[in-house]
A and B are shown apart, each in its own frame.
Chain A
Amino acid sequence: MSDPKDNKPVDDVTGVETTGHTWDGIEELNNPLPRWWLWCFYLTIIWGIGYVIAYPAWPMISKATPGLLGYSTRGEVARDIDTFREASAANDAALATSDLATLSQNEDLYRYAVSSGAAVFRNNCSQCHGSGAAGAKGYPNLLDDDWLWGGNHEQIAYTVRHGIRNDADDDAHYSEMPAFGEILEEGDIPVLVEYVRGLAGEEHDATLAASGEELYIDNCSACHGENGMGDRDQGAPNLTDAIWLYGGDRDSLTETITYSRFGVMPPWSPRLSEAQIQAVATYVHQLGGGEVDPAN
């Protein structure tokens, strides 16, 4: 409240001192800000100057001024990663030499394997097998109970380590189905398609299928077995189950038999550490389809 004795201009209505500024007869009231507030404002300016000196601030042509403290968020992430690696070094060392079949008895290490395996999977495997491991056409679904090359811990780890049908690893799983379009008569293939659909219990033409048995025994049973149960040593799919890697409809089967398939998986041992391979195998095994490990 202003005192009239000060001879300051005062607004009649509010009794508040004015700044003396008038626009179109409207006067500007002066409700002064506390002085300490002004000092706080100056402090923020000083802080700002200090910040610009200490931290990366001014954008230059290729990068910003580094600042005296040499701080960067990228550096912080790198430090965090190092800290994390250091913290998990003991677990990784233990995991690399563990027997995966009995790992679940070591509750902490097992939990570590599953969660770090999930991270490895998302970074390296999800591009083909999907982030939920449900696979896609040509890329096996890892959630189900059907395995081409075996589904116990050791078999999964081997597949991850060496891959499938690649040239980079001599120990990779290898098999090759011939393109029967060059081997069989043209009319034979529809017959085989009906026969294979019959094996799987799908809807099929029974007469055609019946005439396909001999063709099948001659050409297919060496790998897929006389009953169509497949052969894991050769990665030959079981033809009697409900799961089709490339589709079980007539067009897909015709294509598969005519031109064959050649699914490739790279070997991961050059890119992943042994601990990471063990971890991702553990993770995949517990997704739902993992098979019982053989007793030693």
Chain B
Amino acid sequence: MADTPPSLYAAREPIFPRRVTGFFRTLKWWILGLTLSVYYLLPWVRWDRGPNLPNQAVLADLEHRRFFFFWIEIWPHEFYFVAGLLIMAGLGLFLFTSALGRVWCGYTCPQTVWTDLFLLVERWVEGDRNAQIRLLKAKWDLRKVRLRVTKWLIWLAISIATGGAWVFYFTDAPTLAVNLVNLSAPAVAYFSIAILTATTFIFGGFMREQVCIYMCPWPRIQAAMMDEGTLTVGYRKWRGEPRGKHRKGARAAAAAGTATAYVETNLPEADQGTGDCIDCMACVNVCPMGIDIRDGQQMECITCALCIDACDEIMDKIGKPRGLIDYLALEDVPPPVDSPERATWAPRPIWKHILKPRTILYTAIWSAIGAGLVFALFVRSDIELTVSPVRNPTYVMQSDGSIRNIYDVRLRNKSGDDRLFHLSLTSEETLRIGLEGTNTLTVNVPANETLLQRVYVTARRNDPAASADRTDLRLWVEDLTTKTRAGSATIFNGKGE
């Protein structure tokens, strides 16, 4: 056969995950409900910020370059908050992956969550695994068309809602909703909805595990974050092998063994020859990735833990202890059966898998950044200034021989009212401050805006600052209404003689 090389391309094998119940399935339904509710409903939460400011709790206002999150308002120059959150998200991912493997993939990744939702619809319309397989093989009659069209229409409705929810994060949701309906919303809104509808429909309905296996970089990256102590979904090969068909009589005989933790020697005589796996394929049939967990850790496995639920159900039925497929670590392999340590061997407790230097370090860094961000959030004030000294030229000589420096000062008024800002400076030298366009030292900064003000600082001809190379000074701005102050250090350039 070596003469005719095999195909280098593989067609997608359709996967029909069987319905399953159990602890992890229930947990995943709750997570699905929670994450989707947050995603769809969050833009509709109102938050009263008073006049001049939007009343949407979570809003990325691209037009005015503001980000609103409940009581927090982020300006563009405070983007480090977003950077910090992204770093925290990254570290959080490291932490969870090093402790619990691909728990992100299995429980909370949008691809997993929406695929789960689409699978639910599929089961509701077409029936469970066997019915779906029959339908796939069936001729295209009226019933098949009806079922398929129904399923696709529901998927499409979910997809439109998904794409639609996204755009509500970027502008006032109720206004946009009305505009979307009467076709007066901006083109970019329709465009975004169309793209996200298409990706949701295709990724959730048809691509599914292909996205995880071939498109997502995460399965490749995860290997670097896991070690042999990481808890991940696995098969207790030493307990399951050799696989053998289940014999009816064994159930009652094994009942004694279920009460205590599993020790192979507890097993009745009749089952000594074979392992606990009865090769029922329950774990394979429920797998949304179409793999066999008994082959060991695989790149395709998203650790959704549904095979644990499926296997536990079977173990209950045949009277064997649960946990043939379980969250376990690679290092948790017992000594060989004939070894004397086998009787007293027990897997490392779960907390020892989770609490290790690596996870402690990740947690420490994560918390430190989080604490830093919270601190920064509380110390920032309603008024701010940024000072950019004009360096072209560094100084200007006036006709009386005095030396003047020019500064472009950005004054930010983050409050909801117009405010009068008073500017002043402190320095060891006697420098004078002046503002362009006014004889006073006070400017009106409109509500929720940044004002660019040209500021002059002058040193008289004989002042040390006029001849020095550079002199330190600090510009102050005071909100005349609230009396709060903000300062910014800068320098004064002299002739440098």
Contacts and interface: CB of A to CB of B under 8 A. Distances in A.
Contacts of A238: 399
B6 A35 contact: no
Interface string B329-359: 0000000000000000000000000000000
A132 B390 contact: yes
Contacts of A194: none
Interface in B352-402: 390, 392-393, 396-401
Contacts of B400: 241-242
Contacts of A288: 396, 404, 406, 436, 454, 456
A7 interface: yes
Contact of B397 (A7, A17, A21, A242): A242
Interface stretch (A140-148, A217-225, A257-265): A140-148
Nearest to B399: A241
Contacts of B213: 34
A201 B404 CA distance: 20
B496 interface: no
Given A9-B1, A36-B12, A242-B461, A144 B6 contact: no
Contacts of B6: 8, 17, 19-20, 30, 32
Contacts of A211: none
Given A19-B5, A34-B210, A288-B436, A243 B397 contact: yes
Interface in A125-157: 130-132, 134, 141, 143-146
Interface string B385-426: 000001011001111110010100000000000000000000
A38 B7 CA distance: 12
A222 to B, nearest CB: 22
A126 to B, nearest CB: 10
Nearest to B215: A37
The interface size bin for chain A is 20 to 34
B386 to A, nearest CB: 19
Contacts of B295: 1
A134 B393 contact: yes
A104 B461 contact: no
B126 to A, nearest CB: 23
Nearest to B10: A32
Contacts of A37: 9, 214
B2 interface: yes
B2 A20 contact: yes
A1 B1 CA distance: 17
Contact of B437 (A8, A19, A243, A286): A286
Interface string A142-176: 01111000000000000000000000000000000
Given A9-B1, A143-B396, A238-B399, A104 B12 contact: no
Interface string A97-135: 000000010000000000000000000000000111010
Nearest to A39: B9
Given A9-B2, A242-B398, A242-B400, A143 B7 contact: no
Contacts of B392: 130-132, 134
B289 to A, nearest CB: 14
Nearest to A240: B399
Contacts of B41: none
Contacts of A20: 1-3, 5-6
B8 interface: yes
A23 to B, nearest CB: 13
A238 B397 CA distance: 15
Helix, strand, loop or mixed for chain B's interface? loop
Given A134-B393, A286-B437, A242 B9 contact: no
Nearest to B4: A20
B11 interface: yes
A177 B263 CA distance: 112
A177 B8 CA distance: 89
A33 interface: yes
B399 A134 contact: no
Most A C-beta atoms less than 10 A away, residue of B8, B210, B396, B404: B396
B456 A242 contact: no
Nearest to B9: A35
Interface string B3-34: 10111111110000000000000000000000
B396 A144 contact: yes
A132 B9 contact: no
Contacts of A21: 5
Contacts of B8: 19, 30, 32-33
Interface string A2-40: 000001110000000101110000000010111111100
A103 to B, nearest CB: 11
B264 to A, nearest CB: 27
A145 B214 contact: no
Contacts of B2: 9, 20
Nearest to B11: A35
A27 to B, nearest CB: 10
Contact of B399 (A104, A131, A242): A242
Given A130-B392, A286-B454, A32 B7 contact: yes
A14 B11 CA distance: 22
A130 B406 CA distance: 16
A36 B295 CA distance: 26
User: Considering the complex of A and B, which 5 residue pairs feature the smallest CB-CB distances, nearest first?
Assistant: A132-B392, A20-B2, A241-B399, A242-B401, A32-B10
17 contacts: A19-B6, A19-B8, A20-B2, A30-B5, A32-B8, A34-B213, A35-B9, A35-B11, A37-B9, A131-B392, A132-B393, A141-B396, A143-B393, A146-B399, A242-B400, A242-B461, A288-B456
Given A19-B6, A243-B397, 17 more contacts: A8-B1, A20-B1, A35-B12, A36-B12, A104-B437, A132-B390, A134-B393, A141-B397, A143-B393, A143-B396, A144-B404, A146-B398, A238-B399, A242-B461, A243-B398, A286-B454, A288-B454
Interface of B: 1-3, 5-12, 210, 213-214, 295, 390, 392-393, 396-401, 404, 406, 436-437, 454, 456, 461
